[in-house]
Amino acid sequence: MKEDIDKKSVDLCALYGEPEAVILANGDYPTHPIPSQILANAPYVVCCDGGADTYIAQGHVPNIIIGDGDSLSEENRRKYSHILHHISDQETNDQTKAVNFLMEQGKKNIVIVGATGKREDHTLGNISLLIDYMRAGANVRTFTDYCVFIPCRHTHTFSSQPGKQVSIINFGAHGLRGEGLVYPLSDFTNWWQGTLNECTGTEFTVHAEGEYLVVINY
Amino acid sequence: MKEDIDKKSVDLCALYGEPEAVILANGDYPTHPIPSQILANAPYVVCCDGGADTYIAQGHVPNIIIGDGDSLSEENRRKYSHILHHISDQETNDQTKAVNFLMEQGKKNIVIVGATGKREDHTLGNISLLIDYMRAGANVRTFTDYCVFIPCRHTHTFSSQPGKQVSIINFGAHGLRGEGLVYPLSDFTNWWQGTLNECTGTEFTVHAEGEYLVVINY
């Protein structure tokens, strides 16, 4: 079982290579073995504010904590003040501050975990921000307890397995066409239209001009 | 406390009047008092497949169960076969089948609960489908454990309270402009841009031509 998960995790990471840094966002703390293992193996960990509490409680120390500390426990705010990086910017959320911080350090291969669950508007925001991070030059993807979100521009081919559940969320791309998927793709105008597709073989291709999110369920 | 919740629930329901039916979808079973109370007070309950198991386990009996029964326990599939309504249509999910079923009965004032949580692609699908249900003539809104999602077309005014967290997710509307909100609205092209706004008074207005989702956090 552990080996299977290791292989799955490696396969999924291989999409963009091993991350230089992992961001633990402030949604539900990861419980699935894939995001958990990515976090455990991370060479550099940025926690978004309150996300640090659970991470620290599990015996880890993040490299840095981004945020204004208002959702961090008082004890951790005091104890880890030396790694608490306060960025005051009302226009961006903590996840974006963390991505910007890493990009400024030249770390472009980034994985985000803990970005979903809890408030749905936060989930929608965190997921859709991947498109902006891609535009800024980041190789970024979000691993949740169910799937990986990958922001894409133009045509891409993905390793997969037969029967794997795949969704394509269109962000204005044209000429959408799939290969190796059960249901045809088109220039979707609503999110649900590209959901619940399925891979037929060991890889699938999305042909497109423009931006979209690929969601691969574990 | 109970009175406060009652009042909040009534306020939010008052947006579109009391529902004629409540759909319990197949995401996380509601735990927040607002969706829980809406479900408890529902005049007619449609459960989506496996969602029925928890509902039944809590001592209730749905009016109808929609789905192919594959995520329903064997015991409930047998025991409630007389109210299990199988609709075979690969093109729609169980939530949509439930909405279509109610619309065919002339029930247009619909509340959906239990539509989020678990797989994020299901959450995205279920939320975005509200736009399609509105187009089909339904007065529909989704109550989660955190917020209510309301599909809108053109200008709308909402009762609210100062400090209430509000998000506007654009589905192609133009001329977006807010009144009674902290941050200005514009013709957002990405979901996150309209998130995390805040109400300044006892109501707010979204001026727009076209379709969008309003998210009001409790």
Based on the fold, state whether residues B56 and B162 are members of the same structural domain: no
For an interface test with B, give the residue of A26, A94, A95, A121 to mutate (most B CBs within 10 A).
A121
Based on the fold, state whether residues A34 and A86 are members of the same structural domain: yes
Based on the fold, state whether residues B38 and B142 are members of the same structural domain: yes
- Mark which of B129, B147, B165 sits at the end of a domain: B147
Overall domain count for chain A = 2
The predicted-structure confidence for A161-193, as pLDDT tens digits, reads as follows 999 999 999 999 999 999 999 999 999 999 999
Based on the fold, state whether residues A21 and A66 are members of the same structural domain: yes
B97 closest CA partner among B54, B52, B47, B139: B47
The predicted-structure confidence for B67-114, as pLDDT tens digits, reads as follows 877 889 999 999 999 999 988 777 889 999 999 999 999 999 999 999
**What pLDDT, on a 0 to 100 scale, did the predictor assign at position A4?**
54
**What pLDDT, on a 0 to 100 scale, did the predictor assign at position B12?**
56
| Alpha-carbon gap, residue B98 to B101, rounded angstroms | 5
A127/B120 Cβ within 8 A: yes
Based on the fold, state whether residues B86 and B164 are members of the same structural domain: no
Average pLDDT over residues A203-214: 98
| Alpha-carbon gap, residue A67 to A85, rounded angstroms | 6
Percent above pLDDT 70 for chain B: 92
Based on the fold, state whether residues A98 and A176 are members of the same structural domain: no
**What pLDDT, on a 0 to 100 scale, did the predictor assign at position A108?**
96
Confidence check: pLDDT of A13 > 80: no
| Alpha-carbon gap, residue B129 to A176, rounded angstroms | 20
Percent above pLDDT 70 for chain A: 92
| Tokens coding A70 | 């208002």
Number of other CB atoms surrounding residue A191 within 10 Å: 26
pLDDT band of A30, cuts 50, 70, 90? very high
Based on the fold, state whether residues A194 and A86 are members of the same structural domain: no
Number of other CB atoms surrounding residue B190 within 10 Å: 18
| Alpha-carbon gap, residue B63 to B74, rounded angstroms | 19
Based on the fold, state whether residues A102 and A172 are members of the same structural domain: no
The predicted-structure confidence for A144-158, as pLDDT tens digits, reads as follows 999 999 999 999 999
Pairing of strands B139-143, A45-48: unpaired
Please, what's the b/e burial string for B48-68 (b: 16 or more CB within 10 A of its CB; e: otherwise)? bbbbbbebbeeeeebebbbbe
Confidence check: pLDDT of B1 > 50: no
A163 touching B, CB under 8 A? no
Based on the fold, state whether residues B6 and B109 are members of the same structural domain: yes
**What pLDDT, on a 0 to 100 scale, did the predictor assign at position B10?**
46
Cβ atoms of A15 and A150 closer than 8 Å? yes
A116 touching B, CB under 8 A? yes
Based on the fold, state whether residues A15 and A101 are members of the same structural domain: yes
Compare all CA atoms of chain B with the CA of A95 and give the residue at the minimum distance.
B192
What does each C-alpha distance from B18 to A122, A204, B15 come to in angstroms? 28, 46, 9
Confidence check: pLDDT of B8 > 60: no
pLDDT band of A17, cuts 50, 70, 90? low
Q: Which of A123, A125, A165 sits opposite B196 (nearest CB)?
A: A125
B196/A93 Cβ within 8 A: yes
Q: Which domain holds residue B131?
A: 2-147
| Alpha-carbon gap, residue A76 to A53, rounded angstroms | 7
CATH number for the domain harbouring residue B17: 3.40.50.10240
pLDDT: is A19 or A67 the higher one? A19
Confidence check: pLDDT of A2 > 50: no
Average pLDDT over residues B152-165: 95
Percent above pLDDT 90 for chain A: 85
Based on the fold, state whether residues B170 and B137 are members of the same structural domain: no
Residue A89 gets the label, from left (phi > 0), alpha (psi -120 to 50) or beta, of beta
- Mark which of A147, A169, A200 sits at the end of a domain: A147
Confidence check: pLDDT of A73 > 80: yes
Based on the fold, state whether residues A86 and A188 are members of the same structural domain: no
Indicate the range of A70-79, A144-153, B190-199 predicted with least confidence: A70-79
- Mark which of A147, A177, A207 sits at the end of a domain: A147
